[in-house]
């Protein structure tokens, strides 16, 4: 654990955040409780005796220590044989979290018991220097709240040049502009970040970017994972250029062990090295439990935490009681506890690694063998980012002038659209790179590489090994066949489609 | 049911809303499913076989038809005797909502089964002309999303002059200004709304207010309920001045029957009379089930629905699976169904009405008898708005010049602050009117009544009859004693406090 050297970072808060006031009623309650035994006619809560629920009970997979591999036990057994454990929250019995408070109105922070559950988990995996956890209602809620917390209309934020489009699209509506940073097989390239930041001209481009949004492990869509070395470099650049880092890390627990060592260590999170309080880490249970849960958390400095609470109290309020119960009981002695969670995620990692390897074996036979596409082995996550060797296509052109007239333009976007359509016609859905291209602010097109625009690098498709296992081979067979027919066509066919563009 | 005559109201959408694009991936999925049996490598979901949950099970109060009064049965029995019913959602058994989809990622609309549950409920109670339901994660989420959906920075919105401050404070941070409309014992006064709208001068005050936020039944904090006649007048004014109405109606199901008739009808909701699509109704289960659920819904025209979905997909995503399960099963044949829900809410209404009457009887004896305060009988909700007869106070002044120098200023705010402090010192929490005063935009102070500012009408406190029943008598006794001592003091005492203000 690094020693904390927190610095004042309040200038990063958006105007909206600075204008937001704490909830006056909640402030009043704090002064009102001036002595024990106060009587109250002041609440607005329905009386808990009138809550029409007695109990909620969850049956979950067992992660008992006697199971070598709890995920294999869980998926191997048929419904009736699967080893399970139960926990519940009841109106009439004591538990890890009081029914009466978790099903009532609360503060924007949620109940202390649920906060403690995610805090202990964060401490166990990241041991952050001086941070505090804020519950969210899922990853999208967490990240988009951070965009509101930090971004003024007109601000520029930094992101991987390919990113999860639902997230990068979200803040465009309130005036955030994106500055995509180049990535390679190792993820975000620190020297490109440095180049952009050091050549940024505030008189031309506006306020210098002050927020970096990045997915450090098993990035969506590229599957890249930042090495420990790159993380350190990026953190140092963040210090040098006064950048905050939104570390969105849903695939943290799905980092695979390709070393053969029995206890491999994943690279340290940005959070774990954050001595200054400039990392806002977003965690999720979606990939290791269930996305429908919609309960996650942000770990940040106390400053950002308190403003997140005000934002919660001005929007979504505290997280739903059922999710708070689930997570608190799950992380307690009546559920998995941290030990059981760790056994589950290690076992899950093994299962996804197995699926990855099955997928890649099919990929090798059905797709790579054509010579028209290849893929790297992802060290984390759920995605294989397939590179299509588009320069081998008979209609590939480097002198193509698109409608936007950008220099050195190839016809990669048009060819890839055509490939995507052919896949659909053949009965296969893959995700085209184009929808993941982080939408660059027009004002920074030159700065981020006007001579080599991202359009030239759209020759990828995102595939997943988390779907139906029985579909892997037939799906990849279609991909191989479509590639072969697409690349071996006569060089004249369909060219007219583009000439009229 | 009125015939729908929908008109184009898209000019009410905020700039942010107009800029927001549908989620590209979700759009792609729609085109991708071009034929049956498509294979997919395109998803980003973890595989459902790896969700570590087998079942969630809820034990709730029975609302069986053989129970005369299900709430009385529920609260009367001790824990073990209470009649209950169970429902669940299981990985391995069929149910009202598929486990596999409700615990996975979904669209911003939630699962169709949960949408159907709230749609049927809305149809049953309101039979709206041509509307569609959007799930929310609670009332605050719903209302604040509507503020974002409709409000540009600098816009003026209309609201009851006393309102729930957590909601009226929320949009101030993104630049919404409030125009408080006068209320009396019957709630919002239509003629004051008409006066403000017809004297509004866009060259002086900016864009004319285009949104009214109001709580029509058992309003928080005043307990007022709008009569059918006022609702019709307000809807006609909304048509005449092109206003949208945000109808926030959490106390709808708690409208009391003081007629003695066996089947009294509450006044029609704004939604039920909304032929043009200008009502956005926000519904909540918090007051009739449990606030901690955090699942409600908005009913609106199709236009606003589709933009709400885009907003969900750019922020909170779909509602949490546990809540969607709860509400879908609860409203199905395995739970209460609409019939059981109706029996529960009628019975609950009876219980709150009983509490209200117990409260008012204590109030009469302990407080009204002092002559220094009085209260009307609220026709709905949970609140008694206690009027303090402040003009009887020996230090009451009408020539007081406050720091802000507003004309015709009394010292009501100062006296009421003092009363509030004295209550706290005596061990009693009540909610002072001052924290509910809708924060008026300074630019409209004259327009909304510069000669009779709201400061002169802060002589109220909000009390609730939904709290601990055993506290009612002792709490009201304290209030009576504090009032008596406060009003019968020597007229010199503490006056100096104000002279130095």
SS3 content of chain B, % helix, strand, coil (to 5): 40, 15, 45
A24-28, A163-167, A348-352, B128-132: which has the minimum mean pLDDT? A24-28
CB contact under 8 A, B37 and A344: no
pLDDT at residue B400, rounded to an integer: 72
Nearest to A291 among B71, B105, B348 (CB): B105
Nearest to B466 among A45, A428, A478 (CB): A45
pLDDT at residue A260, rounded to an integer: 63
Determine whether A474 is exposed, middle or buried from the number of CB atoms within 10 Å of its CB (0-12, 13-18, 19+).
middle
Among the listed residues B122, B96, B131, the one whose alpha carbon sits nearest the alpha carbon of residue B111: B96
Overall average pLDDT of the B26-51 stretch: 86
Q: State the average pLDDT for chain A.
A: 92
Same fold, B94-334 and B344-499: no
pLDDT at residue A466, rounded to an integer: 95
CB contact under 8 A, B173 and A42: no
CB contact under 8 A, A49 and B137: no
Closest approach of chain A CAs to the CA of B10, in angstroms?
17
Which one of B44, B135, B248 makes the best mutation probe of the A interface by having the most chain A beta carbons within 10 Å? B44
CB contact under 8 A, A294 and B28: no
Closest approach of chain B CAs to the CA of A481, in angstroms?
14
Closest approach of chain B CAs to the CA of A330, in angstroms?
11
Tokens of A172: 């465009």
CB contact under 8 A, A289 and B32: no
Q: CB–CB of B178/B439 below 8 Å? A: yes
Q: CB–CB of A114/A327 below 8 Å? A: yes
Instruction: Return all residues near B229 (Cβ < 8 A) that are at least 6 apart.
Output: none
Tokens of A361: 């074996």
pLDDT at residue B27, rounded to an integer: 77
Closest approach of chain A CAs to the CA of B25, in angstroms?
7
Distance CA B214, CA B250 (A): 11
pLDDT at residue B499, rounded to an integer: 37
- Cβ atoms within 10 A of the Cβ of A44, count? 22
Could you report the per-residue pLDDT of A248-260, keeping only the tens digit for each? 999 999 999 887 6
A497 — pLDDT class (breaks 50, 70, 90): very low
Overall average pLDDT of the A371-399 stretch: 96
Nearest to B25 among A92, A435, A471 (CB): A435
CB contact under 8 A, A103 and B290: yes
Which one of A81, A292, A307 makes the best mutation probe of the B interface by having the most chain B beta carbons within 10 Å? A292
A76-80, A134-138, B305-309: which has the minimum mean pLDDT? A76-80
**For domain B94-334, which CATH number applies: 3.40.50.1820, 3.40.640.10, 3.40.190.10, 1.10.3720.10?**
3.40.640.10
A226-230, A372-376, A484-488, B401-405: which has the minimum mean pLDDT? B401-405
Minimum CA–CA partner of B349 in chain A: A50
Paired with B426 in beta bridges are none
Nearest to B37 among A59, A60, A427 (CB): A427
3-class DSSP string for A66-128: CCCCHHHHHHHCCCCCCCEEEEEEECCCCCCCCHHHHCCCCCCCCCHHHHHHHHHHHHHHHCC
pLDDT at residue A139, rounded to an integer: 97
Closest approach of chain B CAs to the CA of A240, in angstroms?
31
Among the listed residues B180, B278, B192, the one whose alpha carbon sits nearest the alpha carbon of residue B230: B192
Minimum CA–CA partner of B474 in chain A: A39
CB contact under 8 A, A428 and B58: no
What are the chain B neighbours of A47 within 8 Å (beta carbons)?
466-469
B404 — pLDDT class (breaks 50, 70, 90): low
Q: Has residue B155 got a pLDDT over 70? A: yes
Q: Has residue B477 got a pLDDT over 70? A: yes
CB contact under 8 A, A170 and B103: no
CB contact under 8 A, B288 and A344: no
- Integer angstrom CA distances of residue B383 from A184, A464, B330: 61, 54, 28
CB contact under 8 A, B291 and A424: no
Q: Has residue A457 got a pLDDT over 60? A: yes
Q: Has residue B498 got a pLDDT over 80? A: no
A31 — pLDDT class (breaks 50, 70, 90): confident
Closest approach of chain B CAs to the CA of A333, in angstroms?
17
What are the chain A neighbours of B47 within 8 Å (beta carbons)?
466-469
3-class DSSP string for A124-167: HHHCCCCCEEEEECCHHHHHHHHHHHHCCCCCEEEEECECCHHH
pLDDT at residue B32, rounded to an integer: 81
**For domain A97-337, which CATH number applies: 3.20.20.80, 1.10.1040.10, 3.40.640.10, 2.130.10.10?**
3.40.640.10
What are the chain A neighbours of B41 within 8 Å (beta carbons)?
428-430, 463-464, 467, 471-472, 475-476, 479
Which one of A44, A81, A349 makes the best mutation probe of the B interface by having the most chain B beta carbons within 10 Å? A44
Share of chain A above pLDDT 90, in %: 82
* CATH architecture for residues A344-499: Alpha-Beta Complex (3.90)
Among the listed residues A53, A65, A59, the one whose alpha carbon sits nearest the alpha carbon of residue A99: A53
Closest approach of chain B CAs to the CA of A276, in angstroms?
28
Q: CB–CB of B172/A19 below 8 Å? A: yes
What are the chain A neighbours of B137 within 8 Å (beta carbons)?
137, 316, 320
pLDDT at residue B402, rounded to an integer: 55
Q: What phi, psi does A214 have (nearest 5°)?
A: -145, 150
Q: CB–CB of B149/B13 below 8 Å? A: yes
What are the chain A neighbours of B106 within 8 Å (beta carbons)?
292
Could you report the per-residue pLDDT of B202-256, keeping only the tens digit for each? 999 999 999 999 999 999 999 999 999 999 999 999 999 999 999 999 999 999 9
CB contact under 8 A, B24 and A137: no
pLDDT at residue A30, rounded to an integer: 76
A447-451, B171-175, B444-448: which has the minimum mean pLDDT? A447-451
**What ipTM does this complex have?**
0.94
Closest approach of chain B CAs to the CA of A416, in angstroms?
15
A398-402, A418-422, B351-355, B393-397: which has the minimum mean pLDDT? A398-402
Segments making up each domain of chain A, as ranges = 97-337, 344-499
Task: Give the 3-state secondary structure of residue A297.
Answer: strand
Tokens of B473: 């008598």
Q: State the average pLDDT for chain B.
A: 92
Which one of B46, B99, B292 makes the best mutation probe of the A interface by having the most chain A beta carbons within 10 Å? B292
Closest approach of chain A CAs to the CA of B4, in angstroms?
32
3-class DSSP string for A261-290: CCCCCCCCCCHHHCCCCCEEEEEECCCCCC
Distance CA A229, CA A216 (A): 12
Distance CA A26, CA A477 (A): 60
Q: Scan for tokens 């089947």, then name that residue.
A: B263
Q: Has residue B263 got a pLDDT over 60? A: no
A196 — pLDDT class (breaks 50, 70, 90): very high
What are the chain A neighbours of B173 within 8 Å (beta carbons)?
16-17, 19-21, 314
pLDDT at residue A28, rounded to an integer: 81
pLDDT at residue A367, rounded to an integer: 98
pLDDT at residue B282, rounded to an integer: 98
Minimum CA–CA partner of B18 in chain A: A173
Tokens of A36: 């024990």
pLDDT at residue A364, rounded to an integer: 98
CB contact under 8 A, A51 and B289: yes
Going by their DSSP bridges, the two strands A53-61 and A177-181 should be labelled as unpaired
SS3 content of chain A, % helix, strand, coil (to 5): 40, 15, 45
What are the chain A neighbours of B383 within 8 Å (beta carbons)?
44
What are the chain B neighbours of A335 within 8 Å (beta carbons)?
none
- Integer angstrom CA distances of residue A227 from A254, A278, B304, B492: 15, 19, 45, 75
B81 — pLDDT class (breaks 50, 70, 90): low
pLDDT at residue B30, rounded to an integer: 76
Closest approach of chain B CAs to the CA of A1, in angstroms?
32
A333-342, A395-404, B272-281: which has the minimum mean pLDDT? A395-404
Overall average pLDDT of the A369-375 stretch: 98
A192 — pLDDT class (breaks 50, 70, 90): very high
Q: Taking the C-alpha atoms of B395, B399, B400 and B401 in order, what is their torsion angle to the nearest 10 degrees?
A: -170
Nearest to A140 among B41, B174, B317 (CB): B317
Which one of A14, A15, A17, A52 makes the best mutation probe of the B interface by having the most chain B beta carbons within 10 Å? A52
CB contact under 8 A, B289 and A314: no
Could you report the per-residue pLDDT of A108-145, keeping only the tens digit for each? 999 999 999 999 999 999 999 999 999 999 999 999 99
What are the chain B neighbours of A172 within 8 Å (beta carbons)?
19-21
Closest approach of chain B CAs to the CA of A210, in angstroms?
21
Kindly provide the residue ranges of all beta strands, DSSP E only, lying in A290-403, ordered along the sequence: 296-300, 373-375, 383-388
pLDDT at residue A4, rounded to an integer: 82
What are the chain B neighbours of A472 within 8 Å (beta carbons)?
41
Q: Has residue B403 got a pLDDT over 60? A: no
Q: Has residue A495 got a pLDDT over 80? A: no
CB contact under 8 A, B102 and A344: no
- Report which of residues B422 and B450 the model is more confident about: B422
Q: Has residue B79 got a pLDDT over 60? A: no
Q: Taking the C-alpha atoms of A360, A364, A366 and A370 in order, what is their torsion angle to the nearest 10 degrees?
A: 140
A70-84, A141-155, B370-384, B414-428: which has the minimum mean pLDDT? A70-84
């Amino acid at each position: 654990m690094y020693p904390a050297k927190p610095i004042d970072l309040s200038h990063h808060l958006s105007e909206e955040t600075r204008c937001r006031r704490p909830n006056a009623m909640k402030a009043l309650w704090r002064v009102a409780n001036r002595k024990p035994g106060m009587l109250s006619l002041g609440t607005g809560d329905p009386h808990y005796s009138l809550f029409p629920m007695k109990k909620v009970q969850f049956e979950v997979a067992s992660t008992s220590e006697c199971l070598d591999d709890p995920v294999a036990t869980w998926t191997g057994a048929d419904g009736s044989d699967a080893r399970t454990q139960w926990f519940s929250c009841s109106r009439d019995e004591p538990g890890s979290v009081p029914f009466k408070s978790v099903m009532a109105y609360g503060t924007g922070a949620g109940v202390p018991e649920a906060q403690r559950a995610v805090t202990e988990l964060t401490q166990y995996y990241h041991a952050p220097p001086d941070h505090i956890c804020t519950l969210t209602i899922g990853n999208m809620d967490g990240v988009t709240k951070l965009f509101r917390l930090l971004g003024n209309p007109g601000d520029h934020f930094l992101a991987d040049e390919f990113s999860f489009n639902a997230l990068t699209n979200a803040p465009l509506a309130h005036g955030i502009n994106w500055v995509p940073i180049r990535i390679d097989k190792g993820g975000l390239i620190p020297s490109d970040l440095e180049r952009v930041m050091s050549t940024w001209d505030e008189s031309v481009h506006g306020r210098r970017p002050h927020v970096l949004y990045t997915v450090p492990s098993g990035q969506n869509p590229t599957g890249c994972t930042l090495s420990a070395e790159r993380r350190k470099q990026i953190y140092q650049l963040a210090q040098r250029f006064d950048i905050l880092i939104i570390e969105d890390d849903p695939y943290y627990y799905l980092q695979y062990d390709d070393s053969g060592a029995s206890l491999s260590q994943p690279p340290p999170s940005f959070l774990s090295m954050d001595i200054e309080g400039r990392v806002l880490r977003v965690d999720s249970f979606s990939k290791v439990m269930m996305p429908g849960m919609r309960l996650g958390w942000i770990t940040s400095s106390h400053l950002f935490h308190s403003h997140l609470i005000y934002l919660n109290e001005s929007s979504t309020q505290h997280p739903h009681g059922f999710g708070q119960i689930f997570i608190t009981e799950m992380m307690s002695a009546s559920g998995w506890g941290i030990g059981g969670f760790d056994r589950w995620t290690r076992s899950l990692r093994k299962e996804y690694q197995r699926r990855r390897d099955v997928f890649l074996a099919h990929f090798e036979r059905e797709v790579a063998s054509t010579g028209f596409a290849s893929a790297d082995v992802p060290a984390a996550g759920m995605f294989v980012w397939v590179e299509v060797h588009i320069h081998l296509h008979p209609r590939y052109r480097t002198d193509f002038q698109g409608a936007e007239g950008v220099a050195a333009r190839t016809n990669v976007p048009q060819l890839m659209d055509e490939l995507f359509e052919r896949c659909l016609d053949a009965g296969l859905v893959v995700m085209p790179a184009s929808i993941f291209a982080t939408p660059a602010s027009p004002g920074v097109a030159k700065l981020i590489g006007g001579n080599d625009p991202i359009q030239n690098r759209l020759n990828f498709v995102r595939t997943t090994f988390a779907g139906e296992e029985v579909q892997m081979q037939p799906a990849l067979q279609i991909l191989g066949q479509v590639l072969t027919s697409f690349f071996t066509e006569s060089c004249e066919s369909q060219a007219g489609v583009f000439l009229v563009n």
